[in-house]
Amino acid sequence: MQPARFTFPYGFAGMIPSSEIGEQALFISTLLAALSISFASAAMASHELIGCTGDWTKTIESLEPRPAGPMNLSAIRCLPIFHDGYPVYLSPDGSKAFTSHAIKGLWVGSIDRAGANYTFPMHGFSSLWTPIVPFEWLPDSSAVLGVAQDKDRSGFALGGLQPYLFTETGGQTPLPVLTHPNGPLDEIFWIGGTGLAFTTFGTRGSYYNPEHEDPHPTIALVDAKAGRVLDAVELATIPTPPDYRRFVAASSRIDRSGRLRVLTAWRPDIWMLWDQGKKPRILPIHNKIMHPRYALSMDGNNVLIMGNLSATGLICEFGNPCPPPTPQSGMIAELREVVSGRLIWSITGKADDFSISRVPAISPDNRYALITMQSEKEYVTLVSMTDGSVLQRFEMPGWASPTLGFSPDGKEAWITGGSVMATFTIGTQQ
């Protein structure tokens, strides 16, 4: 983004006697400073600050998207989350949130400090490297779909995952047990908040006590609310099968007929598409990003893939001096056609510091996307899904594990991080 420039009329200085130039410059400087303070005060007054203490002036200024466009900052809220540091996921109605802590468990609660909240003490399932958590809000925001698992003191599993519904008041309702002859339920990725899910059976035997073999690792589409396996495929039967130990990410959509489409990524360079009722197939998407972050478009026909562009170099601990990072240029984000792998558009740039892409968010009307973008700083950027043009951006706040999202009606966007959330209105301005 280029700095703003103020241009005075041609010949302005020549119209002022030299003895008065200094006084005139001082007057202009004072006037601009006063206007700056006035504008800053007006901006502060136009944004809600909820549940936060201290001076948030600089944060508010940095979060205002620029240039002017469809997205505008509306509020900053400090959430009543005690064990922050992991991704926070907002409910569809915007009134609640959950976060899954690796040690302290699942926290579900109201975004209001006076509202109910509850922490379910269990072994966490969050990963800062693999952008998948086995929890998802129901569409009516009444509960969180999730899983629990019995483990020994060392963290080894004693049985397969058990699906549950969790509420902010401490409700923990078990759903039917999901079973398959080829092994216990080992991984689950919820689809659309309806109870449908992409799962694996018999893929993590080395993480059990006692360990067991997984001779027929299997993927499945399930209806967890009904406890029913809809479709199951042994990975070995897929041409060029992915290694089940290298499953890293998934994105999904449900079409108008209620059928599922799931796009999964497996290290080092395998992308697999599974349309319900058809056999899974390996796609010609060639992207060797180690920890891919991506999202399917609303119609499921395209995929927005982040590049994880980062500077390279040494990271030194305990205050030891380190040489500065080496900037790197490359792909920041790209949109590809799912089935063919055809590149539709790409955003390139340079990362001057260490960074990692966040999972992108796509608006319900498939018009916009929120992505993270690296340059001299890290930014959150609103881009056009049509051509990848950058519409607006604001500085990435220094909040832990940011997540991006849009409201179901597409009228708001949000970013959460740690125990802070910023919301933005989405208008019609281009």
Tell whether 118 and 92 lie within a shared domain.
yes
Tell whether 190 and 212 lie within a shared domain.
yes
Tell whether 177 and 240 lie within a shared domain.
yes
Tell whether 96 and 242 lie within a shared domain.
yes
Tell whether 82 and 164 lie within a shared domain.
no
- The per-residue pLDDT for range 259-289, each reduced to its tens digit, is 899 999 998 889 999 999 999 999 999 877 7
Round to whole Å and give the CA distance between 156 and 205: 10
pLDDT at 377: 87
Tell whether 242 and 121 lie within a shared domain.
yes
Tell whether 76 and 192 lie within a shared domain.
no
pLDDT at 5: 30
The enclosing domain of 237 has a CATH number of 2.40.128
pLDDT at 22: 42
Length of the chain, in residues: 430
DSSP 287-312: ---SS--EEE-TTSSEEEEE-----B
What amino acid is encoded at 4 in this protein?
A: A
Domain annotation covers residue 229: yes
Tell whether 323 and 183 lie within a shared domain.
no
Instruction: Choose the final residue of a domain: 219, 248, 277.
Output: 248
The boundaries of the domain holding residue 376 are 51-87+291-430
Round to whole Å and give the CA distance between 262 and 273: 6
Domain annotation covers residue 331: yes
Domain annotation covers residue 254: no
pTM equals: 0.85
pLDDT at 27: 40
Round to whole Å and give the CA distance between 270 and 281: 10
pLDDT at 69: 95
Instruction: Choose the final residue of a domain: 196, 224, 248.
Output: 248
Low pLDDT (below 70) residues in the chain:
1-46, 84, 122-131, 428-430
Instruction: Choose the final residue of a domain: 224, 248, 272.
Output: 248
Round to whole Å and give the CA distance between 231 and 227: 13
What amino acid is encoded at 242 in this protein?
A: P
pLDDT at 19: 39
Domain annotation covers residue 211: yes
Nearest Cα neighbor of 367 from 299, 416, 423 is 299
